[in-house]
Structure 1
Amino acid sequence: MSMVEYQDDVSSRAWQHDSAQRLIAGYGVIVASFFDVGCSRSLPWEQRPQAAALLAAITDPDRPFDALMVGEFERAFCAGQFEVLLPLLDEHGIQVWLPEAGGPIDPADPVHQALVLMLGHQSQREILRSRFRTTAAMQVQARDQGRHLGGRPPCGYRLVDAGPHPNAAHARWGRRLHRLDPDPETALTVRWMFAQRLAGCSVAGIARTLNAMAVAPPSAHDRARNPHRSGAAWTVRTVAAILANPRYTGRQVWNRQGIDHHETRPGDKTSRPPGRKPSHHWNQRDQWVISTVVVHPPLVSEQDFLRAQQIKALDVPDYGNPHRYRLTGLVICGLCRRRLEGQWVHGRAGYRCRHGYTSGSDVQPDRAKTLYLREEHVLEQARIQFAHLIDLDPHALAPDDLAGQLRQRQITIVCTPVSITLDVGADSPVEPPTSPRLAVSPGDTTSPAGEKEAPIEGADETPK
């Protein structure tokens, strides 16, 4: 029995025992029973505790049995497992009795051979069929019914009763549906976060403010559902995940995450690499399933949510700092594809990329060296390339005009320690008319002399 959460092991064991008892009535008696609980049929017998014990008993010359009765083929075998075990059983003189065959299996009988092959494929097909049916049903339930399909509610919401289960049998058993409803303690915090983002605040700035205000992070507010998290403080990743969650618009969203079973043969767990387990991954947005209507109270309008996804940090910080970064949001790291953050060093505007490292994470010895670029160098190379692109005199482009033109045309600047190139969205960035390796001087690819991490003024962290 594999589905422990949905089956009664006492009942399952009993009906399979009765099936075997009927099969051998008048021929013998059952002297031992081997029954695995919580093990998938696709696992080889050696990896199932009771099945492995049975294999060991078969090789014992003093065993008290000479035949093997199976309560149901599909509970014991999957795909070609029976054919693999058959030589071992023949070697030790063990007959196999199957209810589907009405008695013992004769390995030399073509009919029995065909039956075993069919049962093996049918057992494997049941796994794939169950996966498909479950996935297809959940897709319809999320898209057409907007049903909450389980899991922790997002920060800012709580689960409330949504009426009886639509399945009449489940409803009679007392099962109820649930839906999302604003949490009176955390919904205001989520609304405030979206308002701050729309005002141009950086994700890191929002996290710092929440920590300074001693606002409990989601894992601290709901410890029962988050025992695996510390709940110590807000992080940039937590804030970014909330701001990117479309469920705050009032629509149900399913399949943002998928499961990779790592099976070279779908449905056959034995085809996984040794030691590999199923893992979750983030799906592309075109794979998300979104409800066609609003099904729970929104915490942000759809228009504001879409705007928040495109917000970049203010090029002039709103706290009065006069430092100005003309290329905020336009400079992309060619090594990790993150946006570079503004940094004012030695009286000049610049940009840096720490390749995902923040003050809240440990430094890895193999981490790529921090990329530093002076704004004037980036502007100069970008101006030459953009002028070449539109057939214009480079000296006719003012820095502010250049930044505006790049934003209007959605052109970004891809930088590495040795090159600066414009990315116009084609298969490859536009090459400059002069040598592309004229990008930055060696002294500008590392931190300013004597400083490992220069103080950031008006910097922004915008996660990729």
Structure 2
Amino acid sequence: MNRKIQTDPASTDLRGNPLRFAFYGRTSTTRHQDRVSSQGWQRDMADGLVAGHGQVVVAYFDAGTSRRVPWRQRPQAAQLMAAASSPGSAIDAIVVGEYERAFTGTQFTTLYAWCTRHGIQLWLPETGGPVDLGNRDHRALLSLLATQSQREVLRARHRVLAAMHNQATQQGRYLGGRPPYGYQLVDAGPHPNPADARWGRRLQRLAPDPRTAPHVAWMFRQRLAGHSVASIARHLNERGVPCPSSADPDRNRHRTRGAWTLRTVAVILANPRYTGRQIWNRRASATDGPASTPALSAKVVHPALVTEQAFVAAQQVRAARPASDGQTRQFALAGLIHCGICNRRLDSHWNHGRPTYRCRHGHTSTQRASQPRPKTLYIREDHLVDELTIQLGDEGTDGYAEPELRRPRHKRVAAALRGAGKIIVYDGAGWRLEEIDSS
């Protein structure tokens, strides 16, 4: 904005008592923005604003931090706030080079209130000096700036997501991230953007990793043969096959490099990239707008490790697990029973034709039992429902409206527990009700 609201000269002419300013600036990325240039022009704006009123005595600049991150969570901004509020602080005012570089949403109002409490002025180029929210024009301008900054964020987000969605679906372009287990990255030629190509940037694509691709193909064959996910994970561990975090530790530093787990195998078996199609945004957010759906390339763009027919069949094996009598198993108290020994939630388990719950204290089917552990706990749902009915005072009629009376008793008991915010704690010797820990 070019318009500047001039404040009362008497309130800003402080040459007799120069102010000590702390400069704050920010840039969103370090890969696509030049920190030195960005910090330079923001600092120039700030120096020009405070000329004649004082000087910048300390500078703080966050590089690679989104404007949506609150000030207290930005490394440099948090240091500035700590320094300005410390006893004997040498900071009288904070100055920024541009509103949009520093604030979005309600961040300015929050910081302004904090500055007021600590007797610190807040200077903006857009107001031509210190901000005064008691000034009607300042309030109107700051409201407009907040809206404009938020709109800029949303517009940029929408454009980037829409472009990436198109690049994945229509071009099949690899858009970054760790390559899935079984693949490695190879060169795919110069970047299609001429400017990026002149800078030497190149595209990448997925290619089978000769070390791990055979294991992926084996997993799908095992799944199509009817083996459980737990069985597949157990055999991989017994054969000493490196799991993803062990096979590619540089890209999986956040993982433990342990053994294969149920989730690891299940994620691989559910990843459509193994059919040769590119996918992006599998875990799309509802806030992504038009690009809120996962993007699957319209054509095969890299070598497949499994055919599309086999991949679809593998998903059906996972989904189709009917009981031998064709009925759907229902567990009314699922998630409501906790182990009094290890504090885990008991697993739902169908046993002798009835719903039961068990706790194996962390043991899973992916590994053979080796270390001693407490005895597995079992408890029947019907026994629990009978005892809970007595303790909760529900004889099947009192306190329920007519539609509720038609619900099975075990469902009424489960609904009562959830409504009261209670869980069942069972230790093998007995059970008790406890409040759900909301912390």
After TM superposition, the score normalised by the length of structure 2 is 0.63
Q: Which residue of 2 aligns with 1:271?
A: none
1:307 and 2:313 correspond? yes
Q: Which residue of 2 aligns with 1:15?
A: 41
Q: Contact between 2:103 and 2:146, CA under 8 Å: does it hold in 1? A: yes
Q: Which residue of 2 aligns with 1:327?
A: 324
CA gap of 1:370–1:95, structure 2 versus 1, over 3 A, is closer
Cα distance between partner residues in 2 of 1:50 and 1:314: 53
After TM superposition, give the deviation of residue 16 of structure 1 in Å: 1.1
1:402-458 Cα shifts (integer Å, max 9, x gaps):
xxxxxxxxxxxxx99889xxxxxxxxxxx9xx9999xxxxxxxxxxxxxxxxxxxxx
Q: Contact between 1:201 and 1:314, CA under 8 Å: does it hold in 2? A: no
Equivalent of 2:179 in 150, 153, 167: 153
CA gap of 1:79–1:206, structure 2 versus 1, over 3 A, is closer
Equivalent of 1:3 in 25, 28, 37: 28
Greater shift, 46-55 or 215-224, is seen at 46-55
Q: Contact between 2:233 and 2:366, CA under 8 Å: does it hold in 1? A: no
Q: Contact between 2:105 and 2:150, CA under 8 Å: does it hold in 1? A: yes
CA RMSD of aligned residues (A): 4.7
Cα distance between partner residues in 1 of 2:49 and 2:240: 69
SS in 2 for 1:128: helix
Q: Contact between 1:34 and 1:50, CA under 8 Å: does it hold in 2? A: no
CA gap of 1:368–1:100, structure 2 versus 1, over 3 A, is farther
After TM superposition, give the deviation of residue 181 of structure 1 in Å: 0.9
1:19-41 Cα shifts (integer Å, max 9, x gaps):
1223345x345232332314543
Q: Which residue of 1 aligns with 2:266?
A: 240
Paired positions, count: 346
SS in 2 for 1:292: coil
Q: Which residue of 2 aligns with 1:72?
A: 98
CA gap of 1:370–1:193, structure 2 versus 1, over 3 A, is farther
CA gap of 1:175–1:332, structure 2 versus 1, over 3 A, is farther
SS in 2 for 1:33: strand
CA gap of 1:86–1:211, structure 2 versus 1, over 3 A, is closer
Equivalent of 2:59 in 34, 44, 52: 34
Cα distance between partner residues in 2 of 1:136 and 1:46: 31
Letter in 1 for 2:267: A
CA gap of 1:44–1:186, structure 2 versus 1, over 3 A, is closer
- Describe how 1:384-395 pairs up with structure 2 within 5 A: none
Q: Which residue of 1 aligns with 2:160?
A: 134
Q: Which residue of 2 aligns with 1:113?
A: 139
1:199 and 2:225 correspond? yes
After TM superposition, the score normalised by the length of structure 1 is 0.60
Cα distance between partner residues in 2 of 1:46 and 1:66: 19
1:320-344 Cα shifts (integer Å, max 9, x gaps):
xxxxx98188653525599968x8x
CA gap of 1:130–1:235, structure 2 versus 1, over 3 A, is same
Greater shift, 165-174 or 6-15, is seen at 6-15
Cα distance between partner residues in 2 of 1:355 and 1:69: 59
After TM superposition, give the deviation of residue 182 of structure 1 in Å: 1.1
- Describe how 1:434-453 pairs up with structure 2 within 5 A: none
Q: Contact between 2:260 and 2:366, CA under 8 Å: does it hold in 1? A: no
Cα distance between partner residues in 2 of 1:70 and 1:436: 62
Q: Contact between 2:168 and 2:278, CA under 8 Å: does it hold in 1? A: yes
Cα distance between partner residues in 1 of 2:124 and 2:240: 66
1:289 and 2:286 correspond? no
CA gap of 1:44–1:219, structure 2 versus 1, over 3 A, is closer
- Describe how 1:42-81 pairs up with structure 2 within 5 A: 42-46=68-72, 48=74, 50-51=76-77, 68-81=94-107
Cα distance between partner residues in 2 of 1:49 and 1:228: 21
After TM superposition, give the deviation of residue 360 of structure 1 in Å: 5.3
User: Identical aligned pairs, as a percentage?
Assistant: 50
CA gap of 1:148–1:369, structure 2 versus 1, over 3 A, is farther
Q: Which residue of 2 aligns with 1:221?
A: 247
Cα distance between partner residues in 1 of 2:199 and 2:251: 25
